[in-house]
């Protein structure tokens, strides 16, 4: 039997107005830390400008992208 990774509350990125290359590198690093801890990371409410960048660098295929922020 394989244990399913637990999911943490996805960060709500709707307020993110700018993300440069240094910021983009945080996403895979954070995901790796989560995976090492037995969890996984999804991204919620990704703005269109960030989604374009995530798609260009292939991270749209790495992360689960949720359309809206989860309700508390």
Please check the confidence at residue 68 and state whether its pLDDT lies above 80: no
**Contacts (Cβ under 8 Å, ≥6 apart) of 10:** 41, 42, 43, 44, 64, 66, 69, 70
Q: Which CATH entry fits the domain spanning 8-66: 3.90.105.10, 3.40.250.10, 1.10.760.10, 3.30.750.24?
A: 3.30.750.24
Select the more confidently predicted residue: 6 or 58.
Answer: 58
pLDDT digit string, tens, across residues 15-61: 999 999 999 999 999 999 989 999 888 999 999 999 999 999 999 99
Residue 59 is predicted with a pLDDT of 96
């Amino acid at each position: 039997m394989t244990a399913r990774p637990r999911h943490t509350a996805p960060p709500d990125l709707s307020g993110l107005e700018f993300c440069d290359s240094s910021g983009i590198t945080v996403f895979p690093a954070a995901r790796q830390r989560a995976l090492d801890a037995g969890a996984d990371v999804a991204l919620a409410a990704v703005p269109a400008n960030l989604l374009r960048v995530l798609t260009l660098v292939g991270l749209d295929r790495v992360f689960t992208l949720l359309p809206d922020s989860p309700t508390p």
